[in-house]
Amino acid sequence: KQEVTQIPAALSVPEGENLVLNCSFTDSAIYNLQWFRQDPGKGLTSLLLIQSSQREQTSGRLNASLDKSSGRSTLYIAASQPGDSATYLCAVIPPLGGYNKLIFGAGTRLAVHP
Amino acid sequence: NAGVTQTPKFRVLKTGQSMTLLCAQDMNHEYMYWYRQDPGMGLRLIHYSVGEGTTAKGEVPDGYNVSRLKKQNFLLGLESAAPSQTSVYFCASSYSQESSGANVLTFGAGSRLTVL
């Protein structure tokens, strides 16, 4: 059974730091991997989606990489800002699966302080 | 542009009571989903719907029922609430099942349910 793990569960950094959030999954057979952001009292927002054939995706200060063979993905946030404070979740979809097969990690709660 | 709206946002129930959570989307999406989020765990799918009049079980369907009488609405019901159903519930919708950058999941803000 596919399991998705995110370490650390919480992270506090000063503003301006470059940081890396980790996501690992037990079964390398995935269709794609997605990173979401969750703000308190709000729903999840999709940040980046990496297809299984891709190695990375970039959006602004965010860069997500995927290494299927090792079952790992990282979300790199450059020059962190207080507005980046949120919980970041990764999720995978198995081959031939759709959104009804999405498997989430528990998330990393990030706090960026001024 | 409302997107996905969940009501109520908060609710406290006593064990054995029943209630219904309402999810409404205004994006003409075919697919709708109900998840629960518990501390230290990822979101888990309860039930989903692939179109008006259809429902299907997800990973954790026991103790819940759903209905999709109208395309824009997806209702989640608890017939006899239990403390184990204390959680934050999220509704989401998508145009299709295909996971792609052009077809992202859109989430509601969540409904926090406490069962005493």
- Output A98 or A20, whichever has higher pLDDT: A20
Closest CA to B32 of B109, B89, B104, B91: B91
Q: Rounded to a whole number, what is the distance in Å from the CA of B108 to chain A's nearest CA?
A: 5
Place B98 in a pLDDT band, splitting at 50, 70 and 90. Answer: confident
Helices and strands (H and E) in chain A: how many: 0, 11
Among A4, A99, A101, A103, most B C-beta atoms within 10 A, so best to mutate, is: A99
- Residue in A31, A42, A89 closest to B42 by CB: A89
Checking if the pLDDT of A63 tops 80, the result is yes
Query: Under an 8 A CB cutoff, do A44 and B90 touch?
Result: yes
Q: The dihedral of CA A66, A7, B101, B36: what is its sign? A: positive
Answer with the residue of higher pLDDT: A72 or B99.
A72
- Buried b vs exposed e over A44-58: b needs ≥16 C-beta within 10 Å? bebbbbbeeeeeebe
High-pLDDT (> 90) share of chain B, %: 87
Q: How many angstroms separate the CA of residue B114 from the nearest CA in chain A? A: 16
Residue B86 reports pLDDT greater than 70: yes
- Nearest-Cα distance to chain B for A42, in Å, is 4
Query: What tokens does B14 get?
Result: 């006593």
Measured between CA atoms, the residue of chain A closest to residue B90 is A43
- For residue B2, pLDDT beyond 80: no
Chain B interface includes A31 (CB < 8 A): yes
Q: Does residue B1 surpass a pLDDT of 70?
A: no
Mean pLDDT of B78-90: 97
- Give me the mean pLDDT over the B93-103 stretch: 82
Residue type, A63: N
Nearest residue, CB atoms, B94 vs list A41, A42, A99? A99
Report the percent of chain A where pLDDT is more than 70.
Answer: 100
Disruptive mutation site among A47, A56, A100, A108 for chain B (greatest number of B CBs within 10 Å): A100
Neighbours of A72 (CB within 10 A): 16
Q: Do A107 and B42 touch (CB under 8 A)?
A: yes
- Of the two residues B51 and A96, the one the predictor is more confident about is B51
Average pLDDT across chain A, whole number: 94
Over chain B, what is the mean pLDDT?
Answer: 94
For the four alpha carbons of B112, B65, A93 and B72, in that order, the dihedral sign comes to: negative
Q: What is the DSSP string of A57-110?
A: EEETTEEEEEETTTTEEEEEESS--GGG-EEEEEEEE-TT--GGG-EE---EEE
